[in-house]
Chain A
């Protein structure tokens, strides 16, 4: 009886989904950050040596001279748009995954401490998914990258000011086995 009721409910729900048009346009959220004081901004592409330098014996993921040793992408307030300054970093990791098919990565999305716990959990997921999407467009496969969100629950910087918040609006890229 109970299963029957749930099945009937399911059918109603599914019917509802079919008749509900998708109205959203997923408009990008505008940049509302008040200041440019973002830690990690210096990890932009110009400082790295690029993926082409992987022929050496050292692991480029751990070579401090390789852009691949940089693992964090920072976001503006309320935003899950990957800023231009982090695109070289994301591209480098995307190409690494493309040329190392056995490599696996988890992208951990985070949010600053302000606002709803649950909305921040969803926002962190969106930030992780945004970086994953860029990497898959560059040739990484869906199965190589897992995305998770810690929302505002695991702040790296325990402070309560704009510097801390900027550091905590962040994705971290973690390779399997690290």
Chain B
């Protein structure tokens, strides 16, 4: 009897233990499901420079932009894949007809990462900080379309009206770059509303972001986002080392992968590399058209001639640049807008075909002639000029050398000079002591307003001839008018018409000689799930909250 009882009691104990275990497992699974914290790992990638600030309003460098994207909560978010504007902290918004006012309806019950409640007061505070004239930030300046104060009116804790003194084109989309700060948190800019928050920063080495426990977003199954526990950003300026680390699985992705590394990786790990097609960026060169530039007058005459510039453009073999320098991962550029920008790209424009003979004929119209293989102008001056570009960018150095050979075919002698970037910037913006420059333009957004300060003749960034007191040529005056028109037009069709004409003028007059549009190349480890690289920045981790790592 006692044996049976002991057997029964052993069986009962065993069943009890099993039950307890089963309940424990079930409870664990339930906790996992409801929390959404599936321990989905850590994403690791490199920043190519030290972040200069964690204050989202003062961000100007790429590393700080990356951190802002991952930690900042925004009212509206441009979906980098569909390019459509989506609700963020705001559930809805309304832009007035004159593009001067925007009303946001905010989500209720949200908190910053430190628990401070979020309300319209925080939005008002952020806007006031952003529009402070002493701030001098690129983000703030995009809203500065005219003089006057920006007014904020808190209608309720979840509704706010922002009024600008002048129309702001694409007003709602601009708020994609405005991360909301807390008006009350003692942690200031470190209290965030985005999916991650800065947990640790080792200067020169690493920035560690951890999941924001108070992040408001959930997925379609109701699980809290982000899936990732953390994101580790290692500061690594060298692309060679970055590539090595990807191959050794020390990092999970590379944004903006070099073409040669793309090809190397494609042969060994084709699933890792992604070519999202032409990016919004362009590589271009331009001539110095500044009247007071310390260069010989006869050279200024060449550079200020649209015929000369178009001839040089005709002599450059863009197909070779795309094929050789970028190994086919680039397209010959047409004009100021990449074909990837489907709405704004003027599809009537075609890439310039390379034709040294046509280039020579064009130059002969201006009185240039070949003499013993050297091109000379009407006054007998040999056509020699220098192209400067920034050192350390091997693609630009190679492009410059190839252009040197292309132009040699029409008797033009080019000296390629690579300079460190500060020296180059000084020549370009202050001393104007240069003849031609080869650089690139990085377009963060799609809207032509992004390029307003490039096209307005009075602007400092009107690179071939900055800060003109009044437009020095009729075509620059026309561009000024067209850019102002598109900025104040409400109808996208009107805006497109104006900007199409700007593109046509840019191609006719060739103040910039557009060379190539690079493809958006990236590498993502197969351990990363949910990645879908796009052309808009940040290409690979635009949906970081939905990524996970095996």
Q: Indicate, yes or no, whether A interacts with B.
A: no
A interface residues (Cβ-Cβ under 8 A, vs B): none
B interface residues (Cβ-Cβ under 8 A, vs A): none
